[in-house]
Amino acid sequence: MSNYQIIAATGCPTGIAHTFMAQEALEQAAKRANVTIKVETHGQVGVENELSAEDIAGADAVIIAADKDVHPERFIGKKIIDVSVSKGIKEADQLIAEALAGKGSIKYPNSGQVSQPQVMADEKSSIGRKIYKDLMNGVSHMLPFVVGGGVLVAISFLWGIYSADPESVQYNQIAAMLKDIGGLSMGAMVPILSAFIAESIAKRPGLVVGFVGGMIAANSGAGFLGGIASGFLGGYVIILLGIAFKALPKSLDGLKAIFLYPVFGVLITGVIMYFLVIPMTAVNEGMMSFLAGFQDSNPIILGLLVGCMCAFDMGGPVNKAAYVTGTALLAQGNHYFMAGVSAACIAPPLITGIAVLLFRKYFDATDRNAGIVNIILGSTHITEGAIPFAAKDPLRVLPIMMIGSSIAAILTYLMKVQVPAPHGGFLVLPVVTGKIAWVGAILLGSLVGGVLLGLLQKRKYEKANGIAE
């Protein structure tokens, strides 16, 4: 089967870890099956190892392991196996076997035209997965704006909490400049989120419609929930316009793209959003107030919830729900919630590192090396390094991760730590309010989780080697 050609595309919302872990897993699985594969990655720096027209034309099968838009409309006439990025990591051998068996579906037949926006009915994947992929396409493009802006705003606080206020004695011109630049970047969060949700649904014509809808949501106070609503609204407005304009002659395709789609799309989406923003603003403000109230009235329950969410799928949709909520609150000046989210995200990889250090002889060489690397990954807020450990025994390892993350988050909330940066792990420690308490909370949660994981591995090792209890 060495002449059998497989191409693949991988992508995760953050574009940091899952994307490349899926790439490596698919390449190793193809090597074991003695077939050729080329994997295109859609990471945070952009598209790498890009598939050429020749690669696509010569491919016998296509595997998409992504939770974001990787432009599948390119694969005309090809059988496509479309799964989540986590399946690309955990089930790579099965995906390669399915590709060799000719499984998958032709979503873009040779006779079809891809110039019109594609409706979700074109995909055989579930409605829930389609919605998630569209949402994560928005989140993945939004994150660099949040991280870049958030870190700059956080750095401005080094001169003092009020260093950007001209009326304060702490005022510093450099701090004020950094806060302005960072604030502009953070302010683009909702429009970018909305724009790329719409782009995932309706391709390029959806971009401008989603962006304008997101601007309306941001300016009205509807926040990121309004941005999500405007993104989906704008995308499907373009889909409906594509159906309505189908009767127009082919010679007007250029006019549709440059004039009809943006004018009618922006008009319809904008008018609808003007009526939606009032209830959306109420919902957004209510949710934020509820969460902010929780951190004061019952930090233990909030920490337990955040810890379990962040460790449950380590970079997946549940984790992202907590993270996006934290970034939204951060944009509103709440630095407490993100402190717990960051602690809970840092803990899982540190748990694996502590486990392999304390229970070294019970882990194989691969796990020992991975655990050491995870100490570095965890320290920089990259949770995904813990996934290989969890994938081997999810029913027992995931609860351990959730316990460790919950302890870290609960202690962070109890000690009222503030983290004004949305990413960076211990690299942003200089701007953290309550540095020692935050590091201590994370290390204690990681230590508890590390000991539990090590004891679990010890038990499995002894059982496998017939050592009496």
Q: pLDDT for 326-350, tens place per residue?
A: 777 777 777 888 888 889 988 998 9
Provide φ and ψ at 107, rounded to 5°. Answer: -85, -20
pLDDT value of residue 266 = 95
63, two tokens:
């595997």
From CA 216, how far away is CA 378, in angstroms rounded? 37
Task: Return the higher-pLDDT residue of 94 and 465.
Answer: 94
> What average pLDDT does the segment 392-416 reach?
90
Q: Quick one: pLDDT band at residue 119, thresholds 50, 70, 90? A: very low
> What average pLDDT does the segment 113-126 reach?
47
Q: Is the pLDDT of residue 114 over 60?
A: no
DSSP per-residue letters across 24-67? HHHHHHHHHTT-EEEEEEEETTEEESPPPHHHHHT-SEEEEEES
Query: In angstroms, what CA-CA distances link 467 with 221, 242, 368, 445, 458?
Result: 62, 67, 22, 30, 10
Amino acid, single-letter form, for residue 17: A
Let me know: does 191 contact 218? Beta carbons within 8 Å: yes
DSSP per-residue letters across 135-147? HHHHHHHHHHHHH
Q: Quick one: pLDDT band at residue 291, thresholds 50, 70, 90? A: low
Start-end of H helices in 298-386: 299-313, 317-331, 336-358, 365-379
Task: Return the higher-pLDDT residue of 251 and 208.
Answer: 208
Domain boundaries defined on the chain: 5-114, 127-293, 298-464
Q: Is the pLDDT of residue 123 over 50?
A: no
> Strand locations in 60-188, DSSP E?
61-66, 79-83, 105-106
> What average pLDDT does the segment 22-29 reach?
92
Let me know: does 8 contact 26? Beta carbons within 8 Å: yes
Q: Is the pLDDT of residue 414 over 70?
A: yes
Q: Is the pLDDT of residue 118 over 70?
A: no
| End-to-end alpha carbon distance in the chain | 48
Residues with catalytic roles: 12
**For the chain, how many residues are written?**
469
Distance of CA 327 to the CA centre of its chain: 12
Let me know: does 293 contact 392? Beta carbons within 8 Å: no
pLDDT value of residue 165 = 82
Q: Is the pLDDT of residue 191 over 70?
A: yes
Q: Which of 366, 365, 306 is nearest to 339 (CA)?
A: 306
pLDDT value of residue 164 = 82
Q: Residue 5, by phi and psi: left (phi above 0), alpha (psi -120 to 50) or beta?
A: beta
> What average pLDDT does the segment 456-466 reach?
83
Q: Is the pLDDT of residue 42 over 80?
A: yes
363, two tokens:
């882990």
Q: Which CATH number fits domain 5-114: 3.40.50.2300, 2.60.120.260, 3.40.1000.10, 3.40.190.150?
A: 3.40.50.2300
pLDDT value of residue 194 = 94
- Bridge-based pairing of strands 61-66 and 5-11 is parallel
Q: What is the mean pLDDT of the chain?
A: 83
Which of these ranges, 98-112, 121-135, 375-389, has the smallest mean pLDDT?
Answer: 121-135
pLDDT value of residue 8 = 94
Task: Quote the Cα angle for 300-327-430, to 5°.
Answer: 80
pLDDT value of residue 325 = 76
Amino acid, single-letter form, for residue 183: G
